[in-house]
Amino acid sequence: MDKYRKEQYLKMGISEAVYEYCTRVEENLKERFQAIDATAEYNQLKVLHAMQKNHVNAECFNGSSGYGYDDVGRDTLEQVYADCFEAEAALVRPQITCGTHALALALLSNLRPGDELLSPAGKPYDTLEEVIGIRPSKGSLAEYGITYRQVDLLEDGFFDYAGIRAAIGEKTKLVTIQRSKGYQTRPSFSVAQIGKLISFVKSIKPDVICMVDNCYGEFVEEREPTQVNADMIVGSLIKNPGGGLAASGGYIAGKTECVENAAYRLTSPGLGKEVGASLGIIQSFMQGFFLAPTIVAGALKGAVFAANIYEPLGFPVIPDSVESRHDIIQAVTLKSADGLNAFCKGIQAAAPVDSYITPEAWEMPGYDSKVIMAAGAFVQGSSIELSADGPLKEPYTVYFQGGLTWYHAKFGIMKSLDEMCRAGAAHLT
């Protein structure tokens, strides 16, 4: 049994030394993996329960065209999301083009001129800077007379409660909290921490809308932020909740009023959720959501495995090898350009799609250095599939995430290490 497996790894270019090292590391992760599986098992039941409760049936998969009136599948899917996340309502649509669009929609539809948006947890995700107007941009909140305030995190990465209290004022209408660190070095927040922050904000101003950018966080824990009083959670379907099957789309779940506001902005005042043809994608959205807890577990195992592979070899990792996880992103500081290139080459070579391509760093608009990216995905740009990227500059940190199966994530990481060893950028002692 082990013999065939090892032979196959060697056949696919993994050196014996890398195979032996990785096998030893994996043996020590049994307990971590058991805990991840237990969370996935719970979340599987949670999703299944929502599907059964809403009588998902074959008719749901018929799809609609044109206006999309009375689209049973679309409406049922939205109720499944809402029930699973213990929200009053949800908007889950292929017409929401990506995570940034979903976040922009939630903000632009729930804020009015004269309102203020507050980020109590530091700088938001890069693409939101233009949505908010921190970097001037057409159609930004700033252009509509919506102001923005930010309270940075304390040195230790936690909330500055005194600063937040001082920043909440007359105009504060909506508070945005990003669960995942994204591509920053701060820690990601647990749902419990987010819940505490929401309680604090509401104790000062009860009617403030608390929105959580839930990207990369879905199904990592047993609870979602809507279960700790978030008014809205927002995310992308080509990340966790799409389960690798959704080819596009985004979601907003939460209070009925917040979700309806978003629907009236996505389609039109007067129309809201009633229109929006589902064009035959509901089965993939529903089935992807069904698979998502397992897919997320595979990606999480990959992230934990990578931290445990690279940390002992002298590469700083965030989160570290033993920390609890609140999202699926892993950062590894590779300390050299050769290392970063080799790592990405390995991830690409491990892909089911485009494996024969060698990724090269390029001048990406908006960045002050070249950026290298590795991805060989079934869905373009999907980051629930194994992918890695990093700016080609000191300290040469790669961010990687995803993996539709644990075995694929594992192979990708083994391949990355193998390439690094070949390039002389990593050494097995």
Ligand X SMILES: *Cc1c(COP(=O)(O)O)cnc(C)c1O
190 binding ligand X? (CB under 6 A): no
CB of 250 to ligand X, least distance (A): 7
Interatomic CA distance for residues 245 and 224, integer angstroms: 21
CB of 213 to ligand X, least distance (A): 5
CB of 123 to ligand X, least distance (A): 11
Coil, helix or strand at residue 119: strand
Q: Which is nearer to ligand X, 125 or 343 (CB)?
A: 125
| Binding segment (CB under 6 A) for ligand X, from list 98-106, 132-140, 261-269, 310-318 | 98-106
Q: Which is nearer to ligand X, 178 or 267 (CB)?
A: 178
Per CB under 6 A, the list member of 77, 80, 87, 98 interacting with ligand X is: 98
Coil, helix or strand at residue 277: coil
Query: CA 237, 37, 178, 269: dihedral to nearest 10 degrees?
Result: 30
Strands, E, within 324-420: which ranges?
A: 330-333, 362-363, 370-375, 387-391, 397-401
100 binding ligand X? (CB under 6 A): yes
Place of tokens 């929609």: 105
Helix axes 72-84, 30-53, angle to 10 degrees: 130
| Binding segment (CB under 6 A) for ligand X, from list 1-9, 96-104, 331-339, 343-351 | 96-104
CB of 229 to ligand X, least distance (A): 20
- Amino acid at site 396: Y
Interatomic CA distance for residues 143 and 165, integer angstroms: 27
Per CB under 6 A, the list member of 21, 125, 189, 251 interacting with ligand X is: 125
213 binding ligand X? (CB under 6 A): yes
403 binding ligand X? (CB under 6 A): no
CB of 238 to ligand X, least distance (A): 7
Q: Which is nearer to ligand X, 131 or 417 (CB)?
A: 131
Q: Are 179 and 217 in contact (CB under 8 A)?
A: yes
Range 283-322, binding ligand X (CB under 6 A): none
- 83: Cβ contacts below 8 Å, ≥ 6 apart: 49, 50, 53, 54
Token pair, residue 328, equals 């699926």
127 binding ligand X? (CB under 6 A): yes
Per CB under 6 A, the list member of 178, 278, 321, 416 interacting with ligand X is: 178
| Binding segment (CB under 6 A) for ligand X, from list 67-75, 81-89, 174-182, 298-306 | 174-182
CB of 257 to ligand X, least distance (A): 23
- Amino acid at site 196: K
**Residue nearest ligand X, Cβ-based:** 99
Range 259-288, binding ligand X (CB under 6 A): none
Total of residues contacting ligand X (CB under 6 A):
12
189 binding ligand X? (CB under 6 A): no
Interatomic CA distance for residues 117 and 176, integer angstroms: 7
Per CB under 6 A, the list member of 215, 282, 306, 375 interacting with ligand X is: 215
Q: Are 92 and 285 in contact (CB under 8 A)?
A: yes
- 80: Cβ contacts below 8 Å, ≥ 6 apart: 47, 50, 51, 54, 56, 286, 289
| Binding segment (CB under 6 A) for ligand X, from list 92-100, 318-326, 353-361, 366-374 | 92-100
Give 176's strand partners: 211
Interatomic CA distance for residues 190 and 224, integer angstroms: 10
236 binding ligand X? (CB under 6 A): yes
Per CB under 6 A, the list member of 9, 148, 189, 216 interacting with ligand X is: 216
Task: Please give the radius of gyration of the chain, using alpha carbons only, rounded to the nearest integer.
Answer: 22
- Provide the binding-site residues for ligand X, judged by CB under 6 A: 98-100, 125, 127, 178, 180, 182, 213, 215-216, 236
